[in-house]
Chain A
Amino acid sequence: MKRHLIVVGNGMAGVACVEQILKLRHDFEITIFGDETHVNYNRILLSRVLAGEKSADDIVLNDIGWYRSNGIQARLGVRIENLDRDRRLVIDAQGQATPFDKLIIATGSSAFIPPIPGVEKKNVHVFRTLDDTRALLEKARKGCKAVVIGGGLLGLEAARGLQLRGCEVSVVHLMETLMERQLDPTGGAYLKRKIESLGIRVMLPQQTQALLGNGRVDGLRFASGEELEADLVVIAAGIKPNVDLARKAGLEVRRGIVVNDHMVTSDPNIHAVGECTEHRGQTFGLVAPLMEQGKALAAAITGNEGPAFTGSTSATKLKIMGVEIFSAGSIDDSAPGVETVRYEDPSLGIYKKLLLKNNRLEGVILVGDVSEERHYTGWLREETNLAPHRKHLLFPPPAEDAGLEIAEMPDSEVICGCNGVTKGTIIDAIHSSGIGTLSELKKCTRASTSCGSCTNLCEQLLRAVASDFQEETRTTLCSCVPFSYEQLREIMRGQQLKSVQEVLNVYGNGKGCEVCKPALSYMLDMLWCGDHEEDRSARFINDRVHANIQKDGTFSVVPRMRGGVTSADELRRIADVADKYKIPMVKVTGSQRIDLLGVKKADLPHVWADLGMPSGQAYTKGVRMVKTCVGTEFCRFGVQDSTRAGIELEQRLENLFTPHKVKMGAVGCPRNCAEATVKDIGMIGQDGSWQIVVGGAAGKSVRKADLLITVETTELALEACELFFQYYRENGNYLERTYDFVERLGIEKIRKETVYAAEPEKKKLLDRLKRSKALAKDAWLERETPAHATQFVQIEAIDKTEKAIL
């Protein structure tokens, strides 16, 4: 007969332990009790849910199918209140008793609420569970004043999450520096600067004396007597192990439930695992040791051979995108015999400190650059003799190629610290299960499923070992900001980043270059439709002065001439401007417009004013023109009014920016006189319908455009153009012309997501286009309101050549 194993606690530690048991030979029938109603989720990622980077579904670790297929009975939303050790029963809140043969207590911990008067008031929250997160999400509104009490890991993550939801956030911390248990004062100061640069106020040291407000919290009073307004207070002042059940049952409890190296409590039939335990005087609040505990427990309870748990080095990592903090081991540098090795670069915000004793690593602090984190954890765990590495402690010797480093790694080296997955385990899984992708690897080994920081390593291993490795296509924008376009768009949207410098500071090298700055500028403009901080220094000169730089440093001016249609009046003004400013060349362009070449920068605003025509955007990655034929207006073959349709299309899209230039054409019959079939977007008139074609080119590449759709009315034709246009704006990589874009995505996918998309999706695309268009302006209006006093002005020196008299 099977023995009944009961697990009290459906959190990460308890379920991970059950996963280990399932891997071993056992004779248990398993029941898991959880007082939360959710299946097992990844608590580490709650801050990501709060920040809006992940949804609640994204952080589920074991879905209900997992419980079912493993024959585990899940009793969710049931709280175990009592434990009858003599009769081996657990008793729930309703008084119902369930017998067990073996019991695992995995009750975890709860938020520690300091005894501050007023903590019971409304809008005072803790941040510990999915339900806490949901409650916070309901309250967090734009402009809401949120105060987080506690400047530790969780407090800071909660603060950033609330801020991303639009709250004005202050962090109040009792100690002199942030995360003082993991960082020394210098590291804490670096962290403070970084957090403040994100726009979060940090108040140190500040002791909260009372929470104010009548029923509902409206402020805090500090011991200093100062007060601070607050609509929302989050208490993140630490955790306390949940030991009530064990204590009532008479198990040995100190700070946590006391366990031995096999995770057995003072009762041999009762084990405990996770944050509720105390092992060799230590309690735990991080994932990695809990996984190790789970393995030891699983072996012990099933009677199999396995590792004992002999303690663990604590390692902490802050999970705020762009704020890289890592700390492990002991950070006490006053201990006898401890020497420190440090490096700092204040302008890059990088600080690294290693503590060594007898050539062994004791502890490590990394701020701003955590790329070597894995080495240090390895050295700590293995107690590696560092004598041979002394010259390369802070910076690894340059690897000849990335693959080499991973090849040299021993099989026992842990790749995924959160889930304790070694290189050997991953390689075995790849070989035995024929794994070829990262997601398969995640499913099979659980590597890279918690904090995700080992994703790169896992990919490297896959690339080196898996015979049928498939890489998810990902090109990074530039080494200054090493993320893909897709990631960057998501980062900017999710993290509410609205200036190029902010993106570079948080995700890049802080500097940027001529490649990434204009690209980031475009993405910000596209995402925020003008509700961003325009930084002209991040733009190419053409976009600083709205004209096209020529080989001699002068500029060319192309006014908008919609559909290539002009008038005697306009032509007269153009001629006058050419005379007045002694313009060396006036040329008819290939896009049915007129180009004035050789204009001095200082003359640009005057030329624009005298022309009295809007910018033709001939200098930028944006809407160029719609070339048209005379259509039904005059042509004896014309079957559609292409001139009018072309002008309408140009009007609807002009002044908008795009990943690369967009040249369009509209023709009134299939003779195609305005070459619509080799334009980025073409409208081809037929008897009773329009063909819309996209992705054509007749420049460096020559490509016949693909048919997007055929529609009957001009309005539908224009709408199809708009749908494709906005889709390209949102999904095209900067400097990717439509002909590459269409080939990269495939016309079928584009059709499905634009003209054949569901109506609500289409509407969303069009709404976003409309919003951008509403904010788009004729750039040449800067002649009246320049972006900077000397935008067009030629500076004259105060002293000429004479000797200055100083």
Chain B
Amino acid sequence: MISQSNWLRVTPSENIPSLEGRSVQIGGREIAIFNLHGRFVTIENKCPHKGGPLCDGIVSGTTVVCPLHGWRFDLDTGLAVRASLPACVTTFPTRVEDGVILVDIDHGSRIESEETAASSLAQIRLQD
């Protein structure tokens, strides 16, 4: 069953520069919103390795690299890329309305396996 969505207004989109991330405290969580050339994506702001602030990482394509020890996560799936151990972060539905970024904080999703990642990634990329 799908529960009702809870889209929260976060911040004007111009507050997040292109190819950078910013952290926000919201709904008892700390999230990191990224601007991928005008497309906004949201993940939890905590690297599963040692808790690094992913919002401060360098963006490479559609991935972000944790500033502490270089773990890399796909921003669409939340899945760790080329990691020695399987790992992931939660991703949150994100959209922009009237220049304001909205995040559905109650519908974060975690993909724990490669196969589910592949199929959901394919879907996400199709929509782009």
- Residue A589 lies at the interface, judged by CB distance under 8 Å to chain B: no
- Residue A797 lies at the interface, judged by CB distance under 8 Å to chain B: yes
Inter-chain contacts of B23 with A (CB < 8 A): 794-795
Beta-carbon contacts of A762-806 to B below 8 Å, as 1s and 0s?
000000000000000000000000001110001111111101101
> Total A-B residue pairs with C-beta atoms closer than 8 Å?
93
For the complex, give the distance between the alpha carbons of A806 and B24 in Å.
Answer: 20
Tell me, rounded to whole Å, the shortest Cβ–Cβ distance linking A520 to chain B: 12
B10-47, CB < 8 A from A: 10-11, 14-20, 22-28
Q: Is B57 a contact partner of A541 (Cβ separation < 8 A)? A: yes
B interface size (C-beta, 8 A) = 36
Known: A514-B58, A537-B20. A797 touches B8 (CB 8 A): yes
Q: Is B7 a contact partner of A806 (Cβ separation < 8 A)? A: yes
- Chain A interface secondary structure, helix, strand, loop or mixed? loop
- Among candidates B10, B17, B65, residue contacting A537 with C-beta atoms closer than 8 Å: B17
Beta-carbon contacts of B56-81 to A below 8 Å, as 1s and 0s?
11111100010110100000000000
Q: Is A804 a contact partner of B8 (Cβ separation < 8 A)? A: yes
- Among candidates A795, A801, A804, residue contacting B11 with C-beta atoms closer than 8 Å: A795
- Among candidates A795, A796, A804, residue contacting B6 with C-beta atoms closer than 8 Å: A804
- Residue B93 lies at the interface, judged by CB distance under 8 Å to chain A: no
B59-110, CB < 8 A from A: 59-61, 65, 67-68, 70, 100, 102
Q: Is A536 a contact partner of B17 (Cβ separation < 8 A)? A: yes
Tell me, rounded to whole Å, the shortest Cβ–Cβ distance linking B113 to chain A: 25
Tell me, rounded to whole Å, the shortest Cβ–Cβ distance linking B73 to chain A: 12
For the complex, give the distance between the alpha carbons of A326 and B51 in Å.
Answer: 49
Tell me, rounded to whole Å, the shortest Cβ–Cβ distance linking B121 to chain A: 16
Inter-chain contacts of A552 with B (CB < 8 A): 51
For the complex, give the distance between the alpha carbons of A794 and B56 in Å.
Answer: 12
- Among candidates A514, A549, A551, residue contacting B65 with C-beta atoms closer than 8 Å: A514
Tell me, rounded to whole Å, the shortest Cβ–Cβ distance linking B13 to chain A: 11
- Among candidates B10, B50, B52, B53, residue contacting A797 with C-beta atoms closer than 8 Å: B10
Q: Is A541 a contact partner of B24 (Cβ separation < 8 A)? A: no
Q: How large is the interface on A (under 10, 10 to 19, 20 to 34, 35 or more residues)?
A: 20 to 34
Q: Is B8 a contact partner of A540 (Cβ separation < 8 A)? A: no
For the complex, give the distance between the alpha carbons of A806 and B7 in Å.
Answer: 9
- Residue A553 lies at the interface, judged by CB distance under 8 Å to chain B: yes
- Among candidates B7, B16, B26, B59, residue contacting A800 with C-beta atoms closer than 8 Å: B26
Inter-chain contacts of A800 with B (CB < 8 A): 26-27
Most buried by B among A551, A798, A800, A806: A798
Tell me, rounded to whole Å, the shortest Cβ–Cβ distance linking B20 to chain A: 5
Q: Is B9 a contact partner of A797 (Cβ separation < 8 A)? A: yes
Residue in B closest to A541 when the chains form the complex, CB atoms: B56
- Residue A511 lies at the interface, judged by CB distance under 8 Å to chain B: yes
- Residue A517 lies at the interface, judged by CB distance under 8 Å to chain B: yes
- Among candidates B7, B15, B67, residue contacting A789 with C-beta atoms closer than 8 Å: B15
A535-555, CB < 8 A from B: 536-541, 544, 549, 551-553
- Among candidates A537, A541, A551, A553, residue contacting B19 with C-beta atoms closer than 8 Å: A537
Most buried by A among B15, B60, B100: B60
- Residue A512 lies at the interface, judged by CB distance under 8 Å to chain B: yes
For the complex, give the distance between the alpha carbons of A774 and B51 in Å.
Answer: 41
Q: Is A795 a contact partner of B24 (Cβ separation < 8 A)? A: yes
Q: Is B58 a contact partner of A517 (Cβ separation < 8 A)? A: yes
- Residue A513 lies at the interface, judged by CB distance under 8 Å to chain B: yes
Known: A795-B11, A798-B9, A804-B7. A513 touches B20 (CB 8 A): no
Inter-chain contacts of B9 with A (CB < 8 A): 797-799, 804
Tell me, rounded to whole Å, the shortest Cβ–Cβ distance linking B70 to chain A: 7
- Among candidates A538, A553, A788, A806, residue contacting B56 with C-beta atoms closer than 8 Å: A553
What are 22 sample pairs from A and B whose C-beta atoms fall under 8 A apart? Answer: A480-B60, A513-B61, A513-B65, A514-B57, A514-B60, A536-B17, A537-B18, A539-B58, A549-B53, A549-B68, A789-B15, A794-B23, A795-B10, A795-B22, A795-B23, A796-B11, A797-B8, A799-B8, A799-B10, A800-B27, A801-B27, A804-B7
List 10 tightest A-B contacts by C-beta distance, closest first.
A537-B19, A513-B60, A541-B56, A553-B53, A511-B61, A514-B58, A514-B65, A798-B9, A799-B8, A797-B26
Apart from A538-B58, A540-B58, A553-B52: 7 A-B pairs, beta carbons within 8 A: A537-B18, A549-B53, A789-B14, A795-B11, A796-B25, A797-B9, A797-B10
